[in-house]
Chain A
């Protein structure tokens, strides 16, 4: 049972990681275009333009991988546990921001991350 738990947590970490990569690519693709004005027509035009950016497709591939792993996780674990543990992506994003993008991560955010880690541990051990 314990090794099973570790494996499930590893898979959840993997989906969170894929999600983080997916968000990074999506954000960078969106940043490469001018943001649309409020009306529906310009939003639709924006989406069509967005689909021509290769990075969007990279992001789609990662979200597809993430979905497949997520389905495997759900087949093995309780939803109430898996969904809570998926909040791991907050940790990954903060770490990526700190060490890859070299952003400053403020004290409050570290407190938040510690709380999330404690929460995930409690949810996993119950």
Chain B
């Protein structure tokens, strides 16, 4: 089965997985927020923390979103090559800091953005090398 070139519809769904992934991590972060920045030092404290995190509806919303992302992602991969899909999906490396600024009021400085850019470039390079391998296999 030959895989199609990237169409507009597939691009839309790929970007959708980016947004879903961002949503997942926002949910996880929300469920993990503790009121007064407690430093978890002992194992029993960690267990109590996990108990409270797992009773948060945000965590279950996040898990649901993981499942949805997984299903969407695997059906997309049957249509396009991984080396095309991964660079587009690494768009979430930009979306997540953006969402952290907007929804969590985190501060992201220029230096951190530059770091994000390096990671993004790195991910693109890693997936470029995958495309070479796919071509070699054909």
Taking Cβ atoms with an 8 Å cutoff, the residues of A that contact B are 4, 38, 68, 70-72, 74-76, 78-81, 83-84, 87, 90, 94, 105-109, 111-126
Indicate whether B119 reaches chain A with its CB closer than 8 angstroms: yes
B62 to chain A, nearest CB (A): 9
A87-B93, A90-B126 in contact; A108/B132 too (CB < 8 A)? Answer: yes
Partner of A119, one of B25, B115, B126, B128: B115
Interface of B is mostly: helix
Enumerate 6 A-B pairs (CB-CB under 8 Å) in ascending A order.
Answer: A75-B34, A78-B104, A79-B104, A84-B93, A107-B129, A119-B120
Residues of chain B at interface, number, CB under 8 A: 47
Report the bound CA distance from A124 to B111 in whole Å.
10
A80-B97, A83-B25 in contact; A123/B119 too (CB < 8 A)? Answer: yes
Task: Digitize B120-132: 1 where CB-to-A-CB distance is under 8 Å, 0 elsewhere.
Answer: 1111111111101
B81 to chain A, nearest CB (A): 16
Report chain B residues within 8 Å CB of A109: 125-126, 129-130
